[in-house]
Structure 1
Amino acid sequence: MSYILKDFPIERLNEIALKEANAKKPIYQIHKWWARRLGSIFRMIILATFLPQDISETELWRKFYQKTDLGGKIILDPFMGGGTTVVEALKLGCKVIGIDIHPVAWFITKKEVEPLDIDKFKAEFRRLKKKVADKIKQYYKTVCPKCGEEADVMYVFWVKKIRCLKCGNEVPLYSSFRLASLGNNYHIVFCPSCNEIIETDKLRGEVVCPKCEKRFTPSDGYAKGKYYLCPSCGGKGEVLKAVKREGKTPEAVMYAIEYYCPHCSERGYKKADKYDQELFLRAKEEFNNRKNELLIPKQKLPNGYNTRQAKNFHYEYFYQMFNERQLLCLSMLLEEILKIEDENVKEFMILTFSDLLQTNNMFCRYEPDKKHITVTGGGFHAYWPPPAPVENNVWGTKFGRGTFKRVFRKTIKAKQYCEAPYETILKNGKSQKNVLRYSLKGHLGNNFDEILNSKVNVILKAQTSEDLSFIPEKSVDAIITDPPYYDNVMYSELSDFFYVWQKLALENKHECYQGEYSPRSREIIKNPAQNKDDEFFVKGLTNVFKECNRVLKEDGLMVFTFHHERTKAWASTLRAILEAHGEGQPRFIISAIYPVRSEGRSGVHGGGIRYDIIIVCKKTLEEPGRISWEKLKDKIHERAREVLERLWLSDRDLRDEDMFVVAMGKCLEVYSWYYPNIFENGRKVEVEEAVDGISDIIDSLLKIKEIEALPEKIDEITKLYCSYIAGSNEIGYDALHKRLSKGGLEVDSLAKEQLIRKEGNIVKVIEPSERRQFVEEKIRRGANLLTIDKVHLLYSVYLEGKPIVKYLSDYGGEDVRKVSELLYRKTRDEIYAKIAGISISTPEKVRVSTLDKYIGG
C-alpha cells in the first residue's frame, strides 16, 4: 500500500510550501501561468504515492532531499497547466505524459523541460543587443533635471481622462497624487494642477505646490474604485458610465517619468516635459508609417468573462492594450528574434519575449511602496484597464523590473535550475537550498511505445484529455494532476493575451497555433459567456476521469489538488469522481484527504483560500454499503465537528474559507464510501443535494463558533452581517435568503439598514464609506445604532485620514472591538484591525499544531 494512503507529512511540508509560495523556484517563473501549484507539494505527492506505507517519515524526508530515482514509473497529468507535475516527475526519475488543451501551457512546459545551450542563448542575446537594443532604447531617453545630460527612462506615468457627467469638464483619473514612498515618511508626490514633482513628509496632510501654489492632499485623488470626483464641480459619478457616454477608450496623457541618470548614478522622478512628449510623438509617427509591416496581433478581443472589463472601456483589439511606442519596439524585437537559426534557442527567446509582454503593456500599474511596475490585478487575472497605467522601458536600463534584459536573465536562471535543481530546507526557521546533484532533462517523444522502449521520458500533447486513446488500458502507474477549478480561472481567455503574439512566431511550426485564439470548445470550465454550465463542466471532467480510470493500473492512484468556496464546485467535482467508470468497471472512491498550502499571496483560486485539498482516489470493485441520509448526516456532522474542533485548537491563523475547504474535503471522503447507495424515504440522494447538506452542516458549525465569540449584547443584524455577508462583494439573493432565514431574518432587514442592496438576482454589499451618511442621519435622529453602524462609522472616519481615537470614546466599546476583530479576520482589511486595536505586523503563524493529526480521524 502507498504511503499516501496512510499518512502525509502535512505540517513540515506546509512550512516549506509557505516559503516557496512567495518565492517560487526559478523554473516556475520562466513564464506566466495562472494558479501554478507548488513544486514542493507535488514532489512530496509523487514520493508518497510510490513509496511504501511502512517507510518512516525520516526516510521519506531523506528521499525528498536527495537524488531519488523512482525507476521510470509512468505518471499522467491530464491538466498539466504550467507543468509542475511534469517537472517534478522528471526530477524523480519518472516518465510522464502531460496534456493540456491550451497551446500556451503546452509551449511553456515544453521549454521548461527541454535542455538549452545557455552559451548559445547568451550569444543570440548579444546579437539582438547589437542589432536592435539601441533602436529601442532611443525611444526611452529623457533629460536629467539635475545635470541636464541624457538619462534613461525607466517608467513613464500616464493617466486616463474622462468627462464629468455633470459639468462636462475633464477628470484625470488619479487614484492619488503620490508617485512613490522612499521610507522614513518621505514621499514623492506631484501637483494635480501643474504636475510639478514635490518631495514631502506629508501624505495625508495638506501640501502647497511651490510652482503654482495649488493646495492638495497627496493621499486624495479623483478616482476611487469605480467612482470619480470631478475637480471642477465636485460632482461624483461612475467612471464606466462616463466612458460609455463618450463611446470610446479614454485618452491617456503622460505626466511623469522615473529615470536613471548614468552621469549622476541615481534614479529620480521628473515631470514629463516637452522633450518627453515629442519623443513619444516620434515613436508614434514611426509606428503609423510602418504599422502595416510590423509584427503585431490583429485579432479582436473576443467576448468573454475576462474580456468584458476591457470591452466595457471600448477596447476592441489586443493591440489596443499597448501604446504605439510599445508596439513599435516589441515588433522590432520579435522580428530580430525570428532570425535566430537554432530552432531550440529561437523558441526559448520567443518564450522570453512572450513573458516580457505582461510588463510591457498599458494595463500595468506602479507600486509606490515597492517602486516598480506590476501587472494589473497583481497577476494578470483579468483584462482590467487601470486608470493610471505605467509604461516600461522595453529593453531596459540599469534598474527596473520586467524589461527584456531582466526577463532574459530570468530565463537563464530557470534553465540553470534545471542543471542543478534544489529543494528548500528549513533550519532554525530560515530557508536554505539543498542541491539535489543531478540535472533535469526532458527527452520528448510522440507516442506511448517510445516512452516504454527508448530514452524518451516525456510526452506532451496540446489537446483535450477527454480522448486518451493513444494511451493503452491499465498502462499508467499514477494520475497526478490539478484539474480546472470550476469557474475560478478562464484559462483560454487569459492566455489569449500571450497566444496572439506567440502565434506570430509559431503558427508555421506547431499545429496547435493554427487557430486565431486559444481553443475554447472543449475547455472544461463553467463560463456563462461561453454557454458552459454546470452540466458541461461535470460531463467534461467525468469524461477525463473515465479515461484516467481506463489507462490507470488496477492498483494505481489518482491524486489531485482542489479547493473552492462554492458548494456547486465541490458537487461537480465529486460527481465526476464518483461517475468516472463504465458498467462492470471499478469505480473511484476517495481514500484519503490532506490539506496543504496553496499558492502565494497573488494566487487566484477561490479568492482568499490559502489551502488546497489533496484528494487521493483508488479503484475498487466492492459494492458500497447502503445507508440512510439521516444516518450519514450524523456521521458527517460528527466528522465535521471533530475536524473543526481540531482546527480551532490548533491556534493557526486560519480563515473560515480555509476551514470550510478542509472540513468539506474530509466530509466528502465519508460520503464517497457509500455513494450511490444513500437513500431518504426510498429515493436516492443525489450528489448535489448531499453536498448542499454537507455545506450547511459545516456552515452552521462555523457560524455558531463565530457568534459564540461575540458579546451577547450585540444585535442580531450585526451578528448575521458578520456571519453571512462580511468579506463578500456580492451574494446571490436566493443563497442569502436561505442563510438569513436560519437566523430568523429577511433580506429586507439588511437592505433597510443600507447594508446591502438588491440588483436583480444579486445582492450587492454596500461599502462602509457609502453608509456614513445613513449612519450620521440615525445619530441626528437619536436612533439606536447597531454595532455594525458604529464600526462602519469609525471605518469611514479612518478612511478620510482622520484620527479615530476621539471617536472611540463615543462609538467604541467591547462590542465594537470584538466585531472589528472578527471582520479583520474575515476580510484581512487592516482598517478593521486599527479599530480593534490589534497588531498586524506579526508574520503568519507557522507552528506545529494538530492540523496534521486530524487525518486519521
Structure 2
Amino acid sequence: MNAIVEHAKVQALAGDTELERDFPMVEISRVAEQESWRKEINRPIYHIHKWWATRLGSVFRGISLAALSKPGTETWKQFYQRQNFAGKVVLDPFMGSGTTLGEAAKLGANVVGCDVNPVSTFLVRQAFTRVDEAQLRATFAKLEQEVALQIRRYYQTRDPQTGELIPVLYFFWVKTVTTPGGETIPLLSRYVFSQDAYPKKKPKAQIICPGCWQVVEGRYDATDVTCPHCSIQFNPQEGPASGQYVTSNAGERFRIKDLLPSDGSPPAHKLYAMLALRPDGEKIYLPAREEDLSLFAEAESRLPQETLPLPTLAVRPGHNTDQARGYNYSNWRDFFNSRQLLCLGMLLEAILRIEDIRIQEQFLCLFSGTLEFNNLFCSFKGEGTGAVRHMFSNHILKPERAPLENSIWGTNKSSGTFSTLFESRLIRAKRYLDEPFDLEFEEDLLGERGKTAKKVVSDPLRARLVNEWSELSTGEQGMLVLNGDSSRLPVPDASVDAVVTDPPYFDFVHYSELSDFFFAWLAPVLKGRYPWFNRSDSSDKGEVQHKDPRVFSKQLASVLSECCRVLKPEGVLAFSFHHSRPEGWAAIHEAIDAAGFSVVAAHPVHAELRAASPKTAAKEPISLDAILVCKKKGPLAKPSLDDSEIALRTASLAARLEGAEMKISAGDRFVIAASQVLVAATDEKSGYEEIVARIDSMRERLASSATITTTD
C-alpha cells in the first residue's frame, strides 16, 4: 500500500484556492453520509418542496469554503467555524433546490442562482423568504377554519363498534381491467395489502379476500387462508396480475395493456379497504362499505358543479412520462381521482384568498409540495414507516396498480398531508433560516465514530432577496435568484469569485418532464405574477438535457462558457458529477474544454444514501460524486498520468474512504478513476473518442484488478 500512496501523491497545482490543492474528502464524506439518512431534517431549507437529485449541504459547504479560501487553508479545521466572505460572489447556474446558494450564504458570501425551470425558481425564492412563524401559524389556523372541515368530511368512515364517524388516514385502491367476456379483474399481484416494514419481526399483515372483499388478518407470508366471512380458501401470495399479464377466473391470460379502456381514458379503480383512526389513537383496517362508496360518489358528482382552479395541462411525451401516457394518463388532472381534485381545488381556492402575497406564496409552495403525496401514483410503504410512498420514488412516472389515497388535510397521525407537511417542511425550513446548522459527529467512549451527531449552529441566514445584479453591491449580503437560460446571465464580466454547481445528467432525469406535474397547478395562478410561469409547460429551449451525449455536451458548454465569462481570472468552477458510462464523462470533458476550462483536480466524496431508490436496483450502486475543479485555461502544467498511475491513485483514494468505514463499490471506483482521467487529460490530445477509450480501458483494468484480488 505504501507504493500506492507514493504513486498517488501527484503534485497538485499551486493554484489560487485551497480547492485546487486539497479537499477533506474523508471527513466531509462521514458527515455527508450521516446527513443523507434524513436530508429533509438535516437540511430542511432545500426540501421545502420536491426537487430531483438534491445534493448534500455538507458537501457543498465544504466545496464553497475551499473554493473561496486561499491555498494552505485547512478546510476541515475551518468547516465548523463561522465564516465571513463578505464581498465574495458565488454563482450556481443550475441552482435546482438552492443548495449552493444556502451554503455559500451561510459563509457570508453574496450568491447568484439561476435555473431555466420556473418551479425551481419559485421554490428557491420561497425557501429563502423570511416570514414570521406566528403569521404562518395564524394563516394556517384561518385556513383550517375555512376549509379543513369540508375536506375532512370526505375522509371519514363509520366505526363498526361505536357507529361514530372517525377519520380515514388512507384509502386503498386497485386498478381494474375488463376482459372481452365482461369479467372485471383487479390488478393485484398478491392479496396481502399491508404488512410491517420488518415483517419477520412483526409478521401480522392485512389481507383482502378475493371472494367477498372483506379484510382478513393473517401473516405476511401466509399461503393458505380461509376467509372467516365467506369461507373461500385462497393463497394470498397469488393475485391475478403478474408482470404485464393478468389471468381471469377461467384461467385465460391477457396482456394488461390490451385491456385498457378503448376510449383512451385511464384504467378504472376499485376502492377496497381503509386505514382509519379511532379517538384513542388506535388504527383499524376496514373494508370499503356502501356508505364509503356513496361518500366518494358524492364527491364525484359535486366536482363538475364547482368552479375550481384545477390543472388543464396535457402530459407531453418524454422519457419520464411515456410509461404513464402508455396507460392513458394524457392530462395531469388524470393523476388524481375526483375526491382528490375536489378537495385539492377547495384548498387551493382558499389559499388564493390569502391577502398577504408573501404569506400566500409560502402556502402555495406548501400546497404544491403536498401534491407529491396525494395522487393516484402514490402507494403504501407499510406499517412502521412514513406510510406513503410518493409518486417520484421512481424517476419515471410509473402507474401504480394499487394506489394509496392520502387524506390531504390529514391528522396528527398522518404522513404527507397538508397539515403534517406544514410542520415538517414549511415551519422547519423557516426555523432553519434563523438557526442554520451543520452536523458534527460526537465520538463515543472508545474514540470511534458514533452514530449520533450534534448540531453546530451558524449565524442566521439573512441574505436579502434581490432582483438585479446592481443590488448586490449595496454592502448588505444579497441573494440574486434568476429564472432563465444560464448561457445568458445578467452578470458583468469577471465579477464572480467561484462557480459551484451540480449540472444535469444527459441521460437521466429530465427535470422539466416531471416538474410539469407541479407546473400544471402553479402556472395558472402565478403566470400573471411571474413571466417565467407564462409558458405552455416548464420546459425551455435553453434546457440542458438530451439523451445524445454530444448534443448534451454542446448545451452544457454554452452555460460553462458563460461561467468562464463572468468568473474572475483566479476563480474556480467546481461541480459534482458521477456517471456509470464513459460517454457521460467524455461529454463533460468536451463541454469543459469547449468552454475554456481545464480540470485541475478531482475529489471523490459521498453523494447520497446507498439505499435510496432507484440505487437499490443497481448491482454496483454509485454513492460517490467526483468534485471536478476547473480553472480557466492557462500556462500551468497539468499532471501527466498514465493508466497505471491513475489505477494506483484510484486505489489510494478508495482505500482512504474505506479506512473511514465507507463501503466503496465497483461503481464508486469507476467514478474515481474516470474523474482522474479528466485531470490527466491534455487539451491537445484528449477529444471525445479518446476520453471514452481511455475510460473504457480504465474500467477493464479495474475489473481485472478486482478479479485478481478476489482470486487471491
TM-score > 0.5 by shorter chain: yes
Q: What is the CA distance between 1:208 and its match in structure 2?
A: 1.3
Q: What is the CA distance between 1:83 and its match in structure 2?
A: 0.3
Aligned residue number for residue 105 of structure 1: 120
1:689-728 per-residue CA deviation (whole Å, 9 max, x = no partner) reads: 112212221221233244446779xxxxxxxxxxxxxxxx
Higher relative contact order, structure no. (Cα contacts within 8 Å, ≥ 6 residues apart): 2
Q: Which shows bigger deviation, 638-647 or 196-205?
A: 638-647
Aligned residue number for residue 29 of structure 1: 47
Q: Is the 8 A contact 1:444 1:456 kept in 2?
A: no
Secondary structure of 1:107's partner?
Answer: helix
Aligned residue number for residue 185 of structure 1: 203
Q: Runs of 5+ in structure 1 lacking a partner?
A: 528-532, 582-587, 679-685, 713-857
Distance in 2 between residues matched to 1:202 and 1:445, nearest whole Å:
56
Secondary structure of 1:359's partner?
Answer: coil
Q: Which shows bigger deviation, 267-276 or 188-197?
A: 188-197
Aligned residue number for residue 518 of structure 2: 498
Aligned residue number for residue 9 of structure 2: none
User: Are 2:670 and 1:657 aligned?
Assistant: no
Q: What is the CA distance between 1:162 and its match in structure 2?
A: 1.6
* Aligned-pair Cα RMSD in Å: 2.3
Q: What is the CA distance between 1:132 and its match in structure 2?
A: 0.5
Aligned residue number for residue 543 of structure 1: 558
The change in CA–CA distance for 1:557 and 1:123 in structure 2 (over 3 A counts) is same
Q: Is the 8 A contact 1:424 1:431 kept in 2?
A: no
Q: What is the CA distance between 1:377 and its match in structure 2?
A: 5.7
Aligned residue number for residue 272 of structure 1: 288
Aligned residue number for residue 675 of structure 1: 683
Q: Is the 8 A contact 1:114 1:442 kept in 2?
A: no
Distance in 1 between residues matched to 2:303 and 2:705, nearest whole Å:
62
Distance in 2 between residues matched to 1:434 and 1:547, nearest whole Å:
38
Which among 50, 55, 70 is matched to residue 52 of structure 1? 70
How many residues are aligned here? 676
Which among 61, 73, 96 is matched to residue 43 of structure 1? 61
The change in CA–CA distance for 1:690 and 1:577 in structure 2 (over 3 A counts) is same
Aligned residue number for residue 232 of structure 1: 249
Aligned residue number for residue 519 of structure 1: 539
Distance in 2 between residues matched to 1:483 and 1:401, nearest whole Å:
32
Q: What is the CA distance between 1:228 and its match in structure 2?
A: 3.0
User: Are 2:650 and 1:643 aligned?
Assistant: yes
Which among 106, 109, 127 is matched to residue 94 of structure 1? 109
* 1:801-840 matched pairs, under 5 angstroms: none
Distance in 1 between residues matched to 2:366 and 2:496, nearest whole Å:
34
Distance in 1 between residues matched to 2:383 and 2:693, nearest whole Å:
46
The change in CA–CA distance for 1:560 and 1:646 in structure 2 (over 3 A counts) is closer
Distance in 1 between residues matched to 2:709 and 2:238, nearest whole Å:
37
Distance in 2 between residues matched to 1:623 and 1:64, nearest whole Å:
29
Distance in 1 between residues matched to 2:711 and 2:182, nearest whole Å:
51
User: Are 2:620 and 1:611 aligned?
Assistant: no
Secondary structure of 2:642's partner?
Answer: helix
1:580-618 per-residue CA deviation (whole Å, 9 max, x = no partner) reads: 13xxxxxx2111101111123436689632111100011
Aligned residue number for residue 162 of structure 1: 177
Q: What is the CA distance between 1:643 and its match in structure 2?
A: 1.4
Name the aligned partner's letter for residue 462 of structure 2: K
Aligned residue number for residue 412 of structure 1: 427
Name the aligned partner's letter for residue 302 of structure 1: R
Aligned residue number for residue 13 of structure 2: none
Q: Which shows bigger deviation, 652-661 or 315-324?
A: 652-661
Secondary structure of 1:106's partner?
Answer: helix
* 1:368-407 matched pairs, under 5 angstroms: 368-370=382-384, 372-376=386-390, 379=393, 381-407=395-421
Which among 543, 558, 567 is matched to residue 582 of structure 2? 567
User: Are 2:31 and 1:16 aligned?
Assistant: yes
Q: Which shows bigger deviation, 539-548 or 687-696?
A: 687-696
Name the aligned partner's letter for residue 169 of structure 2: M
1:655-683 per-residue CA deviation (whole Å, 9 max, x = no partner) reads: 22111111100111101xx212x2xxxxx
Q: Is the 8 A contact 1:376 1:384 kept in 2?
A: no
Q: What is the CA distance between 1:536 and its match in structure 2?
A: 2.8
Secondary structure of 1:516's partner?
Answer: coil
Distance in 2 between residues matched to 1:11 and 1:500, nearest whole Å:
43
* 1:482-497 matched pairs, under 5 angstroms: 482-497=502-517
Distance in 1 between residues matched to 2:529 and 2:263, nearest whole Å:
43
Secondary structure of 2:260's partner?
Answer: helix
Q: Is the 8 A contact 2:494 2:567 kept in 1?
A: yes
Aligned residue number for residue 5 of structure 2: none
* 1:455-470 matched pairs, under 5 angstroms: 455=476, 457-468=478-489, 470=490
Aligned residue number for residue 214 of structure 1: 232
Distance in 1 between residues matched to 2:537 and 2:518, nearest whole Å:
10
More helix per residue: 1
Distance in 1 between residues matched to 2:649 and 2:89, nearest whole Å:
37
Distance in 2 between residues matched to 1:456 and 1:77, nearest whole Å:
16
* 1:409-808 matched pairs, under 5 angstroms: 409=423, 410-428=425-443, 429-455=450-476, 457-468=478-489, 470-527=490-547, 533-581=548-596, 588-600=597-609, 601-602=611-612, 608-622=621-635, 635-644=642-651, 647=654, 650=658, 652-671=662-681, 674-676=682-684, 678=685, 687-708=687-708
Distance in 1 between residues matched to 2:127 and 2:495, nearest whole Å:
25
Q: What is the CA distance between 1:299 and its match in structure 2?
A: 1.1
Secondary structure of 2:49's partner?
Answer: coil
Q: What is the CA distance between 1:245 and its match in structure 2?
A: 6.7
The change in CA–CA distance for 1:191 and 1:156 in structure 2 (over 3 A counts) is same
Aligned residue number for residue 281 of structure 1: 297
Distance in 1 between residues matched to 2:637 and 2:683, nearest whole Å:
7
Distance in 1 between residues matched to 2:650 and 2:77, nearest whole Å:
30
Distance in 2 between residues matched to 1:204 and 1:658, nearest whole Å:
40
1:403-447 per-residue CA deviation (whole Å, 9 max, x = no partner) reads: 110111120111111111111111131333324242112312222
Distance in 1 between residues matched to 2:220 and 2:697, nearest whole Å:
51
Q: What is the CA distance between 1:347 and its match in structure 2?
A: 0.6
Distance in 2 between residues matched to 1:621 and 1:46, nearest whole Å:
23
Q: Is the 8 A contact 1:69 1:92 kept in 2?
A: yes
Aligned residue number for residue 745 of structure 1: none
Q: TM-score, normalised by structure 1?
A: 0.76
Q: What is the CA distance between 1:645 and its match in structure 2?
A: 6.6
Q: Is the 8 A contact 1:77 1:480 kept in 2?
A: yes
Q: What is the CA distance between 1:276 and its match in structure 2?
A: 0.5
Distance in 2 between residues matched to 1:48 and 1:711, nearest whole Å:
41
The change in CA–CA distance for 1:702 and 1:214 in structure 2 (over 3 A counts) is farther
Which among 348, 357, 362 is matched to residue 348 of structure 1? 362
- Greater C-alpha radius of gyration: 1
Distance in 2 between residues matched to 1:384 and 1:488, nearest whole Å:
15
Aligned residue number for residue 85 of structure 2: 70
Distance in 1 between residues matched to 2:655 and 2:359, nearest whole Å:
53
Name the aligned partner's letter for residue 438 of structure 1: D
Q: What is the CA distance between 1:50 and its match in structure 2?
A: 1.7
The change in CA–CA distance for 1:326 and 1:472 in structure 2 (over 3 A counts) is same
Q: Is the 8 A contact 1:366 1:374 kept in 2?
A: yes
Q: Runs of 5+ in structure 2 lacking a partner?
A: 1-15, 444-449
Secondary structure of 1:379's partner?
Answer: coil
